[in-house]
Amino acid sequence: MSVLVDKIVINDFKKLSPGSYKFERGLNTIFGPNFSGKTTLLEAILYALYGSSAVSGTSDTLPNADGGSKTPSVRLYLTNGYEVDRRGGSVSLYKDGAPVSRSSSVVVKDLEEMSMLTKSEALKTRVSKQGEAHSLLSTGSSELKKLVEDLSGCTVVDQVLSRSKALASSGEAKALAVKEIYIGDKALKDLRSERDSLASLLEGKQAELKATTERVKLANAELDKAKQELKEGVEFNAKQMAIVNEVSNLEARLESLDKSQALLDKPLSEEERESLESELSHLTGILKTRKELVMAKSSNEDALNKARRTLNKAKAELSDYPLPSTSSEDLKQDVFERSSYVERDEATLKKLRAQLKDGVCSECKRPFEEHFDKGAVEAEIAELEEEVSRQGAKLSDLQKEYKQVIILENLRRSAVSLVEHVESDVKALEEEAEKLPDSLEVLSKQQDEAQDQVSAIKFKLEADMDAAEKYRRSKELRESMQERLKACADRLEPDRDLSTMREMVEDLSKQTGKLGLLGHELQLWVNGAEPQISNLKQRIVGMEQLQQSLKDAEESSALYKELTKHITKNRAQLMAAVWDGILQEATTFVSDVTDSYVSEVSVDDKFSIQYKEKGHTFPIASASGSQKSLISTGIRLGIANMLPSNFGFILMDEVTADMEEEISVAAMNLAKLRVPQIISVSHRPSDMQASDSLIELSR
């Protein structure tokens, strides 16, 4: 279904007044005098769709009538529910009132998909500008020819054709250049033969080198084995010599040990040792008892001194808290009585105030003034208020004194309790001190004497243990040396023959050297041959590449020459078909409008427009102004139908200005049959006859 323009809302655009303009299917004529804004309204539609670049002389900020500037603001409504809102440099696309996109590039893409036309194609096929007939129809006009070529794709075809010709020439040049350096097929075959011969010889040498390398490995393995056996023989003989030296050393140490053992002291007997140990146990018990008494005596004296200091401190604190002159119980009773007096006076005062305020006696509920004098009651209230204030101050003083006495009594009770507790501790410690015998000095002296006796006995026992240990160790050392002598005798073996081993190592070394020299010579030959073969391969690859390049260049040149012929032929056919379509549309349109008076529109070989009138063909320069406008409109309708599009509207600016009135009406009636919607600008009243919708503007 074709997409038409539904309406446009102008907020700010050039000198157009803000407003909404509705469009219908068929011919919509924008009518008005010169300078009323008719062309500007068409520009507003183009501005909404494609921005300021689609409208000549329009920028994102336009001058207004009073010399200031304003931002263009236009909203275009299409019949498919889409709306384009453009404000200065920003644009938004809506669908049924909901935003679709606010990005300029995305909106352009969406409009292209919607219309099936690019911006350039839309402006060239859907817009007919004022005065276009003179530029399109001028003799030998390049503008019309270029427009048709652009829309038919011939511009792109020409680019491809130019590129094809260039590639064909490039292929020929490349083929000539390759022929100058290519050695020829026979020389390439000789190179391949030389490469294969050298490669075969290299293969034989490499096999011989591999076999020699294996023999060298085997010879080296036998040589390593012989060297290892020689090394083990040397180490074995050295170990045997070490065993002989160890035997001599052990025999000398045994002789020295026997001499030393004769000089050692004999240890105590069992009876002597048991007697000393019994005496040591007895003295150790006495020493333990003395230590416990010393510790108890010392601990008791420290505790007693500490308790006496604490008692003196507690008595000093007790003297700081003397008994108060009035007990807390007496003060508590005074506070209670004083509080009762204050509460009673406050209740009386409250009652008198309430009666005075209400004017009614609280007891008999009669008017207050019948029983009491108001002035006397107010004086009594003042006296009571003064009395309550005085009694309250005394009550506050009594409460403070009561709190201080309570604190003092609590502190004194705590101090008395502490003194009694510490006196009890001092008495207990003094009784415990009386039970401990002697003084601390006597107990310490007895402890030292017992310690000396214990140390003397321990020294004797330790000295005996040292002598016994030395005797035991000497005996064990002798037994160990005798066992080592026996083990050394068991390990002694005859020495190995090292001279035979050395001769075998020398022979194997000579064989390995000869094989190594042969392998080195083979490796040198292989190393020299491999670069030669590599160089031959590179030359062959280079020549093969040149061979292929020559073939490719010749084929490419032939291919592009054929392509050039084909494109040239097809371009001519394409242009003929396009021109036939446009001219057929123009011929039908002009013939219908003029009742076949002008029966054909065509072009000559220079693409200049010509027409047939009464069976005679004339150049367009011979046509009247009315005929030129009519033929131009027919060509414009043909161009509009060249490309398929969903846009069913075309914008025309003063295309009938030079037509006769009768021709103009007929042309517009036929044009709206070919295009679903035409939005046309006109300033002639006669153009309104064919209109389906009229938009009238004024200055």
Could you report the per-residue pLDDT of 643-673, keeping only the tens digit for each? 778 888 999 888 888 888 888 888 888 888 8
Measured distance between the N- and C-terminal CA atoms of the chain, rounded to whole angstroms: 37
Structure tokens at 423: 């006196």
Q: Which is it for strands 90-95 and 98-101: parallel, antiparallel or unpaired?
A: antiparallel
> CA 667 to CA 680: how far, in whole Å?
12
Q: Please report whether residue 407 resides in a domain.
A: yes
Q: Please report whether residue 619 resides in a domain.
A: no
Non-local (6+) Cβ contacts of 372 within 8 A are: 361
Q: Could you give the percent of the chain with pLDDT greater than 90?
A: 9
Task: Tell me the per-residue pLDDT of 173-189, one tens digit each, with 9 for 90 and over.
Answer: 766 766 666 666 667 77
Residue 333 CA, distance from chain mean position: 82
> CA 198 to CA 536: how far, in whole Å?
10
**Which residue range forms the structural domain that includes residue 51?**
1-23+30-126+647-664+681-699
Q: Output the pTM of the full model.
A: 0.47
Q: Can you say whether the dihedral through the CA atoms of 377, 383, 389, 392 is positive or negative?
A: negative
Residue 201 CA, distance from chain mean position: 63
CA nearest neighbour of 690 among 656, 673, 666, 661 = 666
DSSP 269: P
Q: What is the largest CA-CA distance in the chain?
A: 171
pLDDT at residue number 454: 66
pLDDT at residue number 664: 86
Domain finish residue from 427, 462, 494: 427
Residue 140, burial from CB neighbour count under 10 angstroms (0-12, 13-18, 19+): exposed
pLDDT at residue number 139: 45
Q: Which is it for strands 677-682 and 26-31: parallel, antiparallel or unpaired?
A: parallel
pLDDT at residue number 429: 65
Q: What are phi and psi of 696, to 5 degrees?
A: -105, 125
Residue with tokens 């390398």: 213
Judge whether 46 and 38 are in contact, CB under 8 Å: no
Confidence of residue 65 (pLDDT cuts 50, 70, 90): very low
Q: How many CA atoms lie within 13 A of 273 on its CB side?
A: 10
pLDDT > 80? residue 677 = yes
Q: Please report whether residue 625 resides in a domain.
A: no
Non-local (6+) Cβ contacts of 445 within 8 A are: none
Q: How many CA atoms lie within 13 A of 662 on its CB side?
A: 3
CB count within 10 Å of CB 210 equals: 11
The CA-based angle 56-62-677, given to 5 degrees, is: 50
> CA 366 to CA 386: how far, in whole Å?
29
Task: Tell me the per-residue pLDDT of 300-330, one tens digit each, with 9 for 90 and over.
Answer: 667 767 777 776 777 676 676 666 677 777 7
Q: Please report whether residue 329 resides in a domain.
A: yes
Confidence of residue 291 (pLDDT cuts 50, 70, 90): low
Judge whether 50 and 59 are in contact, CB under 8 Å: no
Neighbouring-strand partners of residue 389: none
DSSP 620: G
> CA 84 to CA 7: how far, in whole Å?
11
Q: Please report whether residue 80 resides in a domain.
A: yes
Residue count (the chain): 699
Domain finish residue from 427, 456, 485: 427
Judge whether 11 and 29 are in contact, CB under 8 Å: no
Task: Tell me the per-residue pLDDT of 99-140, one tens digit each, with 9 for 90 and over.
Answer: 988 888 888 899 988 888 888 888 888 888 877 666 666 645
| DSSP-derived 3-state class of residue 178 | helix
Judge whether 340 and 388 are in contact, CB under 8 Å: no
Q: Please report whether residue 685 resides in a domain.
A: yes
Judge whether 627 and 598 are in contact, CB under 8 Å: yes
pLDDT at residue number 597: 86
Order of all β-strands in the sheet with 26-31? 127-128, 649-653, 677-682, 26-31, 693-696
List Cα–Cα distances, 292 to 195, 296, 298, 448, in angstroms. Answer: 113, 6, 10, 13
Q: Which is it for strands 73-78 and 5-12: parallel, antiparallel or unpaired?
A: antiparallel
Domain finish residue from 396, 427, 458: 427
Question: Residue 685 maps to which CATH number?
Answer: 3.40.50.300
Judge whether 653 and 1 are in contact, CB under 8 Å: no
CA nearest neighbour of 491 among 307, 676, 319, 246 = 246
Question: Which of 249-263, 457-471, 587-601, 633-647: highest mean pLDDT?
Answer: 587-601
Q: In 263-327, where does DSSP find H-type helix?
A: 270-319
Q: Please report whether residue 657 resides in a domain.
A: yes
Domains contained in the chain, number: 2
8 compared with 331, residue with greater pLDDT: 8
Q: Which is it for strands 62-63 and 69-70: parallel, antiparallel or unpaired?
A: antiparallel
List Cα–Cα distances, 605 to 487, 602, 610, 617, in angstroms. Answer: 129, 10, 11, 14
Structure tokens at 372: 């009491």
Structure tokens at 444: 């310490």
> CA 360 to CA 177: how far, in whole Å?
139
> CA 514 to CA 215: how far, in whole Å?
11
Q: Which is it for strands 616-619 and 598-603: parallel, antiparallel or unpaired?
A: unpaired
Mean pLDDT of 623-642: 83
Q: Could you give the percent of the chain with pLDDT greater than 70?
A: 72
Non-local (6+) Cβ contacts of 487 within 8 A are: none
pLDDT at residue number 84: 95
| DSSP-derived 3-state class of residue 656 | coil
Torsion angle of C-alpha atoms 57, 60, 64, 68, degrees rounded to 10: -120
SS3 percent helix, strand, coil of the chain, rounded to 5, is: 70, 10, 20
Q: Please report whether residue 655 resides in a domain.
A: yes
Structure tokens at 696: 């009238």
DSSP 388: H
DSSP state string for 485-511: HHHHHHH--PPP-HHHHHHHHHHHHHH
Task: Tell me the per-residue pLDDT of 329-376, one tens digit each, with 9 for 90 and over.
Answer: 777 787 787 788 778 877 887 877 777 777 766 666 667 566 667 777
Judge whether 105 and 630 are in contact, CB under 8 Å: no
CA nearest neighbour of 684 among 649, 654, 647 = 654
3-state SS string for 89-153: CEEEEEECCEEEECCHHHHHHHHHHHHCCCHHHHHHHCEECCCHHHHHHCCCCHHHHHHHHHHHC
> CA 307 to CA 305: how far, in whole Å?
6
Mean pLDDT of 682-687: 81
3-state SS string for 499-545: HHHHHHHHHHHHHHHHHHHHHHHHHHHHHHHHHHHHHHHHHHHHHHH
Judge whether 440 and 298 are in contact, CB under 8 Å: yes
